[in-house]
Structure 1
């Protein structure tokens, strides 16, 4: 949510998610079209309990996908229906689950659907499993109903990461055993001594056995990571942790075997291992949650197309398409290869490949380019003119090899910290051993072990992961979701911000340049225009239908509207011909004095002209200006027409020299390399940005409803605003400063602790107090430095506030 300290008194908060409404937004009640659409559905369908269950933790809603194809679903449903038994079952991945409210909403929608038998959701993994009575349940209809609320479904591919299952189990075991070892240690501190005989020996043996289990169970992740780092020649951060665990355990083992369990550091060792595991769990928790928020993407293997085989229609992976295959492209489906249209006409959009936002019409015999989407309302037939192996999509969909790409070379800071920490700790321990050797091996070893214990890297192992977790959680509430482990380490290096145009700085849809035109229409013209526009899927029609519906336009179910491809829509009503379409559409003849924009005609007389433009993100101008004021060079890099790119650059205040249009995917990648791949952030939404993604220092996308790109991104955005991008840059710098302060505090503490050890004043009891005390201090400092209070939420159309619900 918004920070009250940064929220102006006149700023509105979104009724759905509570985020700040960007200046210039089409509505002062919602931060984005997604939140507005979802809120409207929740209210109209009586599902407002959703707001009571969110507890004020809702992120901005993704805009419901329009015309999304479900070709991947058909073979899964067919297989489920063919299985024996009275009930059919199907497991699917879900994108967009935030909390328990999402689970309730999906279950409620399933309950209202006839024929359903059972529905369970795993919100931690982002999976849903449904059961239904054969032939009595519309699976596709149910999925489309749920996707109307901003969720997306896909084939079941998500699998829990091994670490996400492993760490909680290890942590639970270590916490339980550590608590017992601490109880035994208390008895040593209050006076239990070797003279007490069997009880002292029993407590010593129990502490040793339990500590051995803690070292084996809890220390293994650090041993493995440290060894892997040494094999690569990189002293990993886990190396000092692993060395500390082994050396302290070894020395304590010697003390216990010698009958001096009261001189061992078992309680400190167990606490240290447990705290390190907590830090490791914090480090991965939010990243795992963000990754599971999206559908799993495996490139071309996750894309399907329908292929006609004789009199059968078979759904196959796009990688199986061969030349001369007869393809059936359903509405919303992808054309995977260059093909020739066989039907009379088709309407397609190629923005995913070229960046050009406009839909265009293709006639029979004309080529359908690979990467186009069927934007019409009917399926069309096409003849593949190449195999998928020859398709231009292959290079754009490929995944970079594991371990390569942007993250390489950006861990030098932590490598340096780790290397110096290891060398310093070992050198100081050796110094303590040498200085106290004349006093006897036992005393020298005690001092050396004390040095290893009190110089534990708590700031690295606990406080630093906590700092990253706090920043990631704050950004998630703002609609900025991090997927790459080291993104926050790379963001402070960003000096250039490179934007694609369509779908990135713009919203990929049209908007009215002058709303007063709609408001000035009389009732008859308003209703006619609405009934014409609402019966077309063209972006212009969708824009007009939405604007007219806000003015109270009425829908006429029995209206007979005819679409004239390339011209517009016509409705003969009461002997009067109403037309909505091209400005030069007057009885099929162009006119020099035709009004500009999309025009409503009554017979051949112009009634109103609707000037349209690409919808810009509401805060784009402000954010671009702010980025430039903060010293970032802003570039526009687009496949759209150069004139359009320059026009947008002028409106945003970007120099024309930094606005590049008409670029192919290869050109974009070369441009990123030329400008500097070591300090550039790239934000794009189409597969034509794929190669540029691989060249930039970091890359992200706002297009989570399209395949491939979210899986290649370091981060993704939810909502219509761009403010979270600048917030991420700011918080990454703040995080960098906090981490450096943590290291400074750790060094200061260790200087004092080393001095205490070298003079021989450190005992197991003092170490047991000092180590957790410093860990607690660094944690509190981190929380104080990075925590931000949440802004109070407004009532959502009379709904209870979350605070009232929780009370």
Structure 2
């Protein structure tokens, strides 16, 4: 295999993505288990050119899921193969694309599959379109191969937002036209006058025609927004922009028709419209990129299940399931309703609804709760005891209605600024019109228009969107992805941080308490333990498999392992019976090893080794929790786990036991958030049992992007195994607010001077043409300078909150 190119890194940088490795990380050299797994796969399969293409800009990789169901894929493939012709085609959404290296990786994996006819990847929208020769290509096998690298596929639901297609086109047209108008205006400023005859008239007409196109093309988004605001009775920031465009254009049109194109504001008008479009584009750019990184959430409509109808098996939406239906639940699939098991036994996981890890064995006739996953390796049949409309999942999967939650009652800072700016600009323009009316309507209108031109809200329309874009891009590099437009406005209000436990503060998997228990095994016992553990999907088995792999355990394909549900695994080799499982099953009675010691390995019922396990806590959890508290924020731990275990974890992390709430059902979590929230809570959770709580908090996020529903309800999501990006986001939001308020101060100072010049009647088109872009450039440079990384305090340095944060 060729040498493995790696991104430039320091000893503290992840070998896969280059992100900082959290202190105390389980895997040295990697920021998370996902990066370690993907790095290993790339090396193993000779795909290390990926690192040449990323140029050190890869995102942290989610840990690949091995138990994901593909019930949703079957009807799509069936429909694709039912179309006429030798080549089938299918379009899917994909989660996790972030650069050209991802496109190359998918194309390379597709090329290695037999029967493929073509693959087109759209990284901007997060879509793939594949073509294959009928009956010669394994679609599911290809998707599983790609998902092994941390990506996820889903039905095609992503659609480009209208603004994402519309704004760049409008911006390009206006920028091109503006440059031409500016060239014509230069001739007026250097001496072209009406006495020059036809040349003056031609340049005037060209400026008028091109400016008309700019007003129509570039002004439309602001006209539409202003009209919509007036219909709702809201003075929107786009109102003075729209009025300014129309009045400046109207005045310039009158001057041009009167033969005085040199007195028109065409160049200033065109520059203003173009800059406002730039600001509008910046506002949506990073947010759309973050949203497209994920699969689109379709709530309950996105859940599919196999329904048995006599001798036929049909894949249907979960919403079509009725009481008494017989369902076939494949490995990794979800049970959408309360049901009873029809087969002999099954292993299920309820971590998605309870938030707690662990699997249990269900025997024939026992109930299965809605939201349970089939954690076994074989499909099982269940009988629905309720219709989906009565399922507890319906409430948990619903989209949050508009007008609920902390964000809805939060009055955004920019709404108030916009209203005040509109009222002030209109009042000042009216004042100028009134003061100069005695000098004649023409002069009065000229002053009023000049006021609308020079009071350009560039600090709001350009510099502020740029500031938000810079902060969002920086957070993205740290694994914090913003999804909500106003999240950075809400974060400075956060005074309480509420964590779910399992999958949030912990990683949703187990780890060895003592690695020596594996490292000191004899070679024979080590290989036998690996043969046993590697053939089970139980969380304890997955943990032991990973640990044994690191010490070089060997796999025996001919080994025949028997799994005893709820007990453990058994292997007979050379007349010796080996067992890996519960102590009272694997050991003879004379061994008194407590169950807390974890699974044990026995040889003919004699103890060989014990493997104590514990929940894997995020490596920086304690540091970040204590840092949040030192900054003046209250930290809470809210979990569905047993109260004693929740209190134990709270103590280990330094959270007051009074702030540790255990045994919480989804409704209890929501009630707890409601009682605590004073429009100042941030909630971090990973399971659908956190869904109702998400709707009550000021802002909410999730590290679980590999499961449905929660990412779509979140204001932000996290990649990687560290929590430091949350505190970094809180810190940067405060810094952003300070920068924005300084920008407003500069804008007010500039406008005071500009208004004075206008009211004195000294403003001319040339002065306006110089002043407006000059101030825009100055505010942009100030923004970049204020938010440059070199001026930032390191994220590890706690900074106390200001004593009072205005609403």
For Structure 1 versus Structure 2, the TM-score category normalised by the shorter chain is over 0.9
1:607 aligns with 608
Deviation per residue, 1:642-669 (Å, 9 max, x gap): 1111111111111111111111111111
Are 1:154 and 2:154 matched, yes or no?
yes
Q: Give the drift of 1:46.
A: 1.1
2:3 aligns with none
1:38-187 alignment, distance < 5 Å: 38-187=38-187
Are 1:392 and 2:392 matched, yes or no?
yes
Deviation per residue, 1:175-205 (Å, 9 max, x gap): 1111111111111111111111222122112
Q: Give the drift of 1:681.
A: 0.6
1:585-734 alignment, distance < 5 Å: 585-586=585-586, 592-594=592-594, 596-734=597-735
Taking structure 1 as reference, are residues 236 and 559 closer, same or farther at Cα in structure 2, changes over 3 Å only? same
Whether the 8 Å contact between 1:97 and 1:151 is mirrored in structure 2 is yes
Q: SS state of the match for residue 300, structure 2? A: helix
Whether the 8 Å contact between 2:478 and 2:725 is mirrored in structure 1 is yes
Q: SS state of the match for residue 408, structure 1? A: helix
Whether the 8 Å contact between 2:583 and 2:593 is mirrored in structure 1 is no
Taking structure 1 as reference, are residues 525 and 398 closer, same or farther at Cα in structure 2, changes over 3 Å only? same
Alpha-carbon distance between aligned partners in 2 of 1:723 and 1:513, rounded to the nearest angstrom: 24
- Select between 749-758 and 539-548 the one with higher mean Cα deviation: 749-758
Deviation per residue, 1:291-347 (Å, 9 max, x gap): 111111110000000000111111000000000000000111000000000111111
2:325 aligns with 325
Deviation per residue, 1:587-608 (Å, 9 max, x gap): 6759644572211111121111
Q: SS state of the match for residue 408, structure 2? A: coil
Are 1:283 and 2:275 matched, yes or no?
no
Q: Give the drift of 1:439.
A: 3.5
Alpha-carbon distance between aligned partners in 2 of 1:28 and 1:105, rounded to the nearest angstrom: 25
- Select between 522-531 and 692-701 the one with higher mean Cα deviation: 522-531
Q: Give the drift of 1:506.
A: 0.7
Q: SS state of the match for residue 751, structure 1? A: helix
Alpha-carbon distance between aligned partners in 2 of 1:593 and 1:361, rounded to the nearest angstrom: 23
Alpha-carbon distance between aligned partners in 2 of 1:58 and 1:151, rounded to the nearest angstrom: 13
Alpha-carbon distance between aligned partners in 1 of 2:782 and 2:697, rounded to the nearest angstrom: 34
Q: SS state of the match for residue 466, structure 1? A: helix
Whether the 8 Å contact between 2:704 and 2:711 is mirrored in structure 1 is yes
Q: Give the drift of 1:355.
A: 1.6
Q: Give the drift of 1:771.
A: 0.5
Q: Give the drift of 1:137.
A: 0.5
Q: Give the drift of 1:401.
A: 2.8
Q: Which stretches in structure 1 are left out of the alignment for 5+ residues? A: 1-8, 792-807
1:563 aligns with 563
Are 1:253 and 2:240 matched, yes or no?
no
- Select between 49-58 and 88-97 the one with higher mean Cα deviation: 49-58
2:453 aligns with 453
Q: SS state of the match for residue 729, structure 2? A: helix
Deviation per residue, 1:384-403 (Å, 9 max, x gap): 00000110011111112345
Deviation per residue, 1:348-390 (Å, 9 max, x gap): 1111111221111111100010011111111110000000011
Q: Normalized against structure 1, the TM-score is what?
A: 0.95
Alpha-carbon distance between aligned partners in 2 of 1:226 and 1:60, rounded to the nearest angstrom: 41
Whether the 8 Å contact between 2:580 and 2:586 is mirrored in structure 1 is no
Taking structure 1 as reference, are residues 575 and 121 closer, same or farther at Cα in structure 2, changes over 3 Å only? same
Q: Give the drift of 1:759.
A: 2.4
Alpha-carbon distance between aligned partners in 2 of 1:682 and 1:149, rounded to the nearest angstrom: 29
Alpha-carbon distance between aligned partners in 2 of 1:771 and 1:679, rounded to the nearest angstrom: 39
Alpha-carbon distance between aligned partners in 2 of 1:11 and 1:626, rounded to the nearest angstrom: 24
Alpha-carbon distance between aligned partners in 2 of 1:405 and 1:692, rounded to the nearest angstrom: 9
Taking structure 1 as reference, are residues 408 and 231 closer, same or farther at Cα in structure 2, changes over 3 Å only? farther
1:299-318 alignment, distance < 5 Å: 299-318=299-318
Taking structure 1 as reference, are residues 428 and 401 closer, same or farther at Cα in structure 2, changes over 3 Å only? same
1:805 aligns with none
Whether the 8 Å contact between 2:236 and 2:422 is mirrored in structure 1 is no
Q: Give the drift of 1:127.
A: 0.5
1:238 aligns with 238
2:738 aligns with 737
Alpha-carbon distance between aligned partners in 1 of 2:667 and 2:527, rounded to the nearest angstrom: 48
Deviation per residue, 1:63-113 (Å, 9 max, x gap): 111210000001111111111101011100000000111001000000011
Q: SS state of the match for residue 171, structure 1? A: helix
2:26 aligns with 26
Whether the 8 Å contact between 2:402 and 2:408 is mirrored in structure 1 is no
Are 1:417 and 2:417 matched, yes or no?
yes
Alpha-carbon distance between aligned partners in 2 of 1:780 and 1:37, rounded to the nearest angstrom: 42
2:506 aligns with 506
Q: Give the drift of 1:233.
A: 2.2
Q: SS state of the match for residue 153, structure 2? A: strand
Taking structure 1 as reference, are residues 337 and 588 closer, same or farther at Cα in structure 2, changes over 3 Å only? farther
2:769 aligns with 768
Whether the 8 Å contact between 1:677 and 1:695 is mirrored in structure 2 is no
1:431 aligns with 431
Q: SS state of the match for residue 497, structure 1? A: strand
Taking structure 1 as reference, are residues 178 and 391 closer, same or farther at Cα in structure 2, changes over 3 Å only? same
Whether the 8 Å contact between 1:240 and 1:418 is mirrored in structure 2 is no
RMSD: 1.6
Q: Give the drift of 1:435.
A: 3.0
Q: SS state of the match for residue 585, structure 2? A: coil
Alpha-carbon distance between aligned partners in 2 of 1:44 and 1:469, rounded to the nearest angstrom: 38
Are 1:225 and 2:221 matched, yes or no?
no
Taking structure 1 as reference, are residues 361 and 790 closer, same or farther at Cα in structure 2, changes over 3 Å only? farther
Alpha-carbon distance between aligned partners in 1 of 2:521 and 2:179, rounded to the nearest angstrom: 75
1:778 aligns with 779
Q: SS state of the match for residue 716, structure 1? A: strand
Q: Which stretches in structure 2 are left out of the alignment for 5+ residues? A: 1-8, 793-807
2:379 aligns with 379
Q: SS state of the match for residue 789, structure 2? A: coil
Alpha-carbon distance between aligned partners in 2 of 1:337 and 1:81, rounded to the nearest angstrom: 31
Whether the 8 Å contact between 1:208 and 1:253 is mirrored in structure 2 is yes
Alpha-carbon distance between aligned partners in 2 of 1:207 and 1:745, rounded to the nearest angstrom: 32
Q: SS state of the match for residue 382, structure 1? A: strand
1:804 aligns with none
2:294 aligns with 294
1:797 aligns with none
Q: SS state of the match for residue 71, structure 2? A: coil
Deviation per residue, 1:654-694 (Å, 9 max, x gap): 11111111111111111100001511111111111111111
Alpha-carbon distance between aligned partners in 1 of 2:231 and 2:28, rounded to the nearest angstrom: 57
Q: Give the drift of 1:586.
A: 4.1
Q: Normalized against structure 2, the TM-score is what?
A: 0.95
Q: Which has the higher contact order (CA 8 A, sep 6+)?
A: 1
2:526 aligns with 526
1:548-587 alignment, distance < 5 Å: 548-586=548-586
Whether the 8 Å contact between 1:354 and 1:639 is mirrored in structure 2 is yes
